[in-house]
Amino acid sequence: MNSGLDLYDPVVVAAFKSVLVHQGLIALLIFVTLALAWVSIREWLPAARDGRAASSGAQGPAEPGWRQLLRIGFGLLWVFDGILQAQPAMAVGLPSKVIEPVAATSPGWVQHLVNWAGTTWSYHPMQAGASAVWIQVGIGIWLLVAPRGAWSRLAGLASVGWGLVVWVFGEAFGGIFAPGLTWLFGAPGGVLIYVAAGALIALPERAWRSPRLGRLILAGLGVFFAGMAVLQAWPGRGFWQGTLHGKAGTLTGMAQSMAATPQPRFLASWVAAFGSFNAAHGFAVNLFAVVVLAVLGGVFLTGQPRLIRPAVIATVVLCLADWVLIEDLGFLGGLGTDPNSMIPMALLVAAGYLALARVPAAVTQPAGDTAAAAAPDPGPAGHIRPGWRDRVRPAALRRSAAAASIQSVASLGAVGVIILGAAPMAAAQASPVADTILAQSIDGSSTPLNYPAPPFTLTSQHGTQVSLASLRGKVVLLTPLDDTCSVDCPLIAQEFRQAGQLLSGDSRRVELVAINNNPIDTQLAYIQAFDRQEGLASVPNWLYLTGSAAQLEQVYRRYGLPMEVLPAGAMIGHGDYAFVIDQAGHMRQELDFDPGPGTAATKSSFAAELADAAQQLLSSP
Amino acid sequence: MSTPRRLTAAAFVAAGILAAGCGSTAPAARLPGGAAAPSVPPPLATSLASADATWAVVVMGGSAAQHENFWQLFARPAGSGTWRLVTPPGTPDNGGLVLAGTAGQSLITGFRPSQDLTFSPLIATVDDGSNWSQSGVLDTGLADVPDALAAAPGTGRLLALLAGGAAELGGSGGTAWTTLATQRSLGASPAGRACGLGSLTAAAFSPAGVPTLAGACGRPGTAGIFAYAGGAWHAAGPALPSSLARQPVEVLRLTRTGTGIVALLAAGTGPAASMLAAWTGDGGSHWTLSPLLRLDGRRLLSASFGAGGAVAIVLNGSHGVTLAGPGSSWQPLPALPPGTATLALGPGGWFDALAVHVTKLTDWRLAPASRAWHDAQAINVPVQFGSSS
């Protein structure tokens, strides 16, 4: 899944910033356009606007405190997570430095699933990185601006949907299938708490009106804490020992690892100090954790408000301590994607308490309205609600728009931001070809050229004589390849093969040509073996040319190809290049073609660069 | 195992023993000191004598990373006391070099593949390594054993043991390769079943040009050497002494020297492991066995052969042991110089210990009857670090 590029590769970082700025401007435009349209329509249809204002007083109960806490809290968290996704190293680093390590200890099928997503990301780092930013910012804004109604519940569902995507592909199921699972490190994954919160936000209003919901939330948390206590107490997982055979125990190791993350010095010293304390008192620390988790679990299961209040306070304090001393805030180091699990956990616990202790008062309705409340909603002005065909008529839409609240318009804008992020990623996802920016970041871009390409006549792998002149009328993608080279040349050959596949429809008009860059290993048998090794023997428009040492060295000189016969078991010293020659035999591009790390993503990217160059020439008049 | 199968197996064992001919052995020699260590296949470092030169292969570079290890070929022409670097240029050899001497004046070198290269180029020299010419290619890389390539006397046919466990037979130019056997097909033959063939470890031609393969037998006390004649594989290994009847046996080396074949066998595992050499001049009908050499946990680093069937092995801990030829007994050498990668046998009974330190090869020489190595020559090899990365 690794693209192999440097995390702060300047080309990628600049392109990522550019994409974010462009999409940010579009997001702004979405909100401005919607606001202007809304204001205009309200001015145009004052009756609809006023009708809505009159009916707004008849809405249901006020949003309860627990829901407000979840909605605003998780809205802010999503926005914050989105901002974290905009860090410069994210585009390149997320798959290899975040996703892959998280999945490394999970079973093979989890790694396979996660690697698939990581590979997809590494093929399209710009689109993927930007999409994560805008989807999360969009969901956050949506939660913040939609306090009630269908829009608000949909925001909760969006949080559930995206949260599950992140939990599965970004957090490898929160590590629940991996050894070492512990609440202290963030199990079962911070974003799973986002999912739970989103589900609670998506509940219908009737669920708000009873303390039953609060009891259920706290009972669920009670079971969770009790389970985590058992897990924490389980022997043989390295938590009971601060140090083990001279090595750090599990918790000590985690603290030491987190302390090494780039961060403010005072914070690192706190985390390191906790690691040292745990190294000396590992048993006591784990005993404390086990007892506290068990007690909290038991109290939450009782459902007794007088016990639950101090338990909630204790949970919040414990979460904050864990967040600072063990999770190390979670978002530092340049590749933090969220503040980890403790802040969401504290929010969820507090919301559960509020749902239990502060049930909203029931809305009192006039006696005559009781029957009306049971009947279908007649809609504004007491009319029977029209069918969907009527509601999508232009006039009806205009009325609806004029009657819409500012929250609804802002929600629509937030949905627009989510689509802004998701659509380019979906489009990129549909393409199995990597972004050419990976190749450009490794070797830079080429300068357009236009001069007659130096001629040559050599022998093909089939034993036939081939000259550049004989290829006139075709676009020639040319590269020097050493037939016994063990590193770059096989990668370049793969890139040419993939370029041929991308050009499948135009393959008769493009010739993929390699010239043997080894003046010693010139035998046809060698280049034929190389072709078989690289799966090129059956590619119809592939030519691998060789000749005598004198013939080859003449071509090297004409094309300015460096070549040095190195002694003592070294391979031939050579450079990596690709030349694009047009149908008239003119040199049009000379590409540095060092294949870099040779990952699947970079190979695909170089292939796309070659194919693009050929297609440009084929499409030019 | 059912009784009929036991009988069948016993019959195969008996047939194998009969086919292997008779052998003779002597009490085991012991090395001083040592700790437990299992026998492992020998590394590629070796030397061999041909009619016109002695050749030695060692690895230089000194890095744990394969791509920074560069295998070097040195030649000492007959009649000369001086080594020179003759590593063939143009082809990366980070995966190792495998040598095959022919009866004439030529040497064929196979390149084991490394990194993204998966085939094995073959090249030959007829002038002591001064010039090299391409001599075919193997699509599958040579096996990681020093006897993965052999050349037939007279015809120049080649026998290659490949990384996947197949043995291929090729023409004298390294062309027209055909699969002669695979580990599975040989293991399924009567001879292979009698041995319980586990893996193939060496290939050689008998003096008569018969393709011969060797491997590790799952059946204790059996030497897995097989000759291909009449379109079938026949057991051709020696009968081993009764003291090895319960020991697993692996053929570590199988090489043609002069007019015969010499095999180096490892028996047993751990501290009880031992080694012995076996010589045959008739393709495996009759063998002469050396005494057992108790390894006492020491590990084989290199085995080399002289023209008359002499054997010189390097064990870890600076131990060197030699056999002068058939009928001789193991003789310890004075403590080997630090970094000794392989031994080479010289005319008149001297030994060269070729010691490697990163890019410097030092030839330490031991004159006959002498107890001290002296520095005879040093060669600084221009290793191109980073050229294969």
pLDDT tens for each residue of A214-227: 999 999 999 999 99
Tell me if B27 is assigned to some domain: yes
Shortest CA gap B176–chain A (Å): 11
d(CA A436, CA A445): 10
- Which of B58, B34, B32 lies closest to B352 in space, CA to CA? B58
Tell me if B259 is assigned to some domain: yes
The pLDDT assigned to B23 comes to: 38
How confident is residue B40, by pLDDT bands cut at 50, 70 and 90?
low
| Average pLDDT over every residue of B281-296 | 91
Ramachandran quadrant class, A168 (left: phi over 0; alpha: psi -120 to 50; beta: rest): alpha
Contact across the interface for A568 and B111, Cβ inside 8 Å: no
**Is residue B14 scored above 60 in pLDDT?**
no
The rounded percent of chain A whose pLDDT value lies above 70 is 92
Q: What is the mean pLDDT of chain A?
A: 87
Question: Chain A partners of B116 at a C-beta cutoff of 8 Å?
Answer: 486-487, 489-491
- Provide the β-strand partners of residue A479: A514
Q: Which residue of B has its CA nearest to A527?
A: B137
Contact across the interface for B381 and A568, Cβ inside 8 Å: yes
- Which of A508, A532, A516 lies closest to A458 in space, CA to CA? A516
Tell me if B94 is assigned to some domain: yes
Contact across the interface for A487 and B115, Cβ inside 8 Å: yes
d(CA A521, CA A119): 37
| Average pLDDT over every residue of A403-415 | 88
Q: Are B330 and B293 in contact (CB under 8 A)?
A: yes
How confident is residue A181, by pLDDT bands cut at 50, 70 and 90?
confident
- Which of A91, A197, A89 lies closest to A140 in space, CA to CA? A197
Q: Cβ of B131 under 8 Å from any chain A Cβ?
A: no
Tell me if B92 is assigned to some domain: yes
d(CA B93, CA B66): 10
CA distances (Å), B379 to each of A75, A591, B60, B319, B352, in order? 72, 41, 12, 23, 14
B116, B139, B384 member nearest A570 (Cβ): B384
Residue A571's SS3 state is strand
Contact across the interface for A520 and B67, Cβ inside 8 Å: no
The pLDDT assigned to A60 comes to: 61
Shortest CA gap A298–chain B (Å): 56
Tell me if B389 is assigned to some domain: no
Question: Chain A partners of B121 at a C-beta cutoff of 8 Å?
Answer: 484, 521, 526, 529
The pLDDT assigned to A23 comes to: 93
Q: Cβ of B386 under 8 Å from any chain A Cβ?
A: no
| Average pLDDT over every residue of A463-477 | 95
Tell me if B297 is assigned to some domain: yes
Question: Chain B partners of A567 at a C-beta cutoff of 8 Å?
Answer: 85, 87, 89, 382, 384
Question: Which residue matches tokens 């809405």?
Answer: A59
Task: Give residue-wise pLDDT tens across range A238-266.
Answer: 899 988 888 888 999 999 989 988 888 89
Question: Chain B partners of A572 at a C-beta cutoff of 8 Å?
Answer: 90
The pLDDT assigned to A382 comes to: 46
Ramachandran quadrant class, A470 (left: phi over 0; alpha: psi -120 to 50; beta: rest): alpha
B72, B114, B119 member nearest A568 (Cβ): B72
Q: Are A124 and A425 in contact (CB under 8 A)?
A: yes
The pLDDT assigned to B103 comes to: 64
Q: A336-339: long-range contacts at Cβ-Cβ below 8 A with a sequence spacing of 24 or more? A: A336/A84, A336/A87, A337/A81, A337/A84, A337/A85, A337/A90, A337/A94, A337/A98, A337/A170, A338/A77, A338/A80, A338/A81, A338/A84, A338/A190, A338/A191, A339/A77, A339/A80, A339/A190
B92, B118, B134 member nearest A526 (Cβ): B134
Task: Give residue-wise pLDDT tens across range B184-193.
Answer: 999 999 999 9
Torsion of CA A131, A135, A138, A144, to 10 degrees: -150
Q: Cβ of A157 under 8 Å from any chain B Cβ?
A: no
Burial of A254 (0-12, 13-18, 19+ CB in 10 A): buried
Task: Give residue-wise pLDDT tens across range B228-254.
Answer: 999 999 999 999 999 999 999 999 999
A491, A523, A570 member nearest B70 (Cβ): A570
Domain that holds residue B173: 3-380
Tell me if B388 is assigned to some domain: no
Which of A89-103, A352-366, B140-154 shows the lowest mean pLDDT across its residues?
A: A352-366
Structural domains counted in chain B = 1
Residue B352's SS3 state is strand
Which pTM does this prediction carry? 0.77
| Average pLDDT over every residue of A494-515 | 92
Question: Between A582 and A39, whose confidence is greater?
Answer: A582
| Average pLDDT over every residue of B244-269 | 91
Under 8 Å CB pairs connecting chains A and B tally to: 101
Tell me if B386 is assigned to some domain: no
Question: What single letter denotes the amino acid at residue A568?
Answer: A
How confident is residue B292, by pLDDT bands cut at 50, 70 and 90?
very high
Which of A402-406, B115-119, B153-157, B212-216 shows the lowest mean pLDDT across its residues?
A: A402-406
Residue A416's SS3 state is helix
Question: Chain A partners of B174 at a C-beta cutoff of 8 Å?
Answer: 525
The DSSP element (H or E) to which B70 belongs, if any, is: strand B70-77
Q: Which residue of A has its CA nearest to B66?
A: A486
Question: Between B212 and A39, whose confidence is greater?
Answer: B212
Domains for chain A: give ranges and CATH numbers. 1-54+65-209+408-431 (no CATH), 211-358 (no CATH), 439-619 (3.40.30.10)
Q: Cβ of A396 under 8 Å from any chain B Cβ?
A: no
CA distances (Å), B35 to each of B205, B271, B299, in order? 36, 7, 10
Q: Both ends of chain B: CA-CA distance in Å? A: 53
CA distances (Å), B376 to each of A33, B313, B336, in order? 89, 20, 14
Question: Chain A partners of B93 at a C-beta cutoff of 8 Å?
Answer: 569
The pLDDT assigned to B264 comes to: 95
Q: What is the CATH number of the domain that holds B185?
A: 2.130.10.10
Q: Cβ of A536 under 8 Å from any chain B Cβ?
A: no
**Is residue A479 scored above 90 in pLDDT?**
yes
Question: Between A476 and A430, whose confidence is greater?
Answer: A476
Question: Which residue matches tokens 């969820």?
Answer: A348
